[in-house]
Homo-oligomer: A and B are copies of this chain.
């Protein structure tokens, strides 16, 4: 596939870049969440809610654009899917951060810093890849890196579950809450992988 220089195409790519950029911002908020005490966390959750609203608007902009464009750079379904999976990343991040606040969790487990670090890397790598959708070049390294990060996240997730159940002296209610949070961040990591799979699928079809 050659270069695409039509002005219509431009904003599809820029809307995907916007969505992924919001995910970079969202994971930065997650990092702050770890460093702050319980009272300050509420403002982080609100900030994430605002980012989620912005992401929703970017998604709707994309859908409207698909609606009104005669020509789209990829299959309309692929644009839909890519937008939907980027949306899922944000949803899981926002929801899981909100659970930490709603459940009034005090001390977060050690592994959570690494979980959030992996999500931050995933967001950055995704944001860097979005502009390359235009040329469909060099995307292979992106999805390989995402797969690697997802494997790392998965391994960590299992270790955290084992620690939660076996090494902690916490009661059952704490375990239920914390399992919800640990699982929520793992679902965010899974959603980043689905974004990468969709990009891989687009590259497969268009190349």
Residues of A within 8 A of B (CB): 63, 66-67, 76-77, 80, 84, 95, 98-99, 102-104, 158, 161-162, 165-166, 171-173, 175-177, 179, 197, 200-201, 204-205, 207
Contact = CB atoms under 8 A, between A and B. Distances in A.
Nearest to A162: B102
A173 B173 contact: no
A63 B204 contact: yes
B177 A173 contact: no
Nearest to A207: B67
Nearest to A80: B201
A197 B67 contact: no
B161 A205 contact: no
Contact of A176 (B77, B95, B162, B179): B179
Chain A binding surface, main DSSP class? helix
B103 A165 contact: yes
B165 A204 contact: no
B102 A161 contact: yes
Contacts of A176: 165, 172, 175-176, 179
- A-B residue pairs, 8 tightest by C-beta: A172-B172, A102-B162, A172-B173, A67-B204, A80-B201, A103-B165, A66-B204, A76-B205
A12 to B, nearest CB: 14
14 contacts: A66-B204, A67-B204, A67-B207, A76-B201, A102-B158, A103-B162, A103-B166, A104-B165, A104-B166, A165-B173, A165-B176, A165-B177, A175-B176, A176-B176
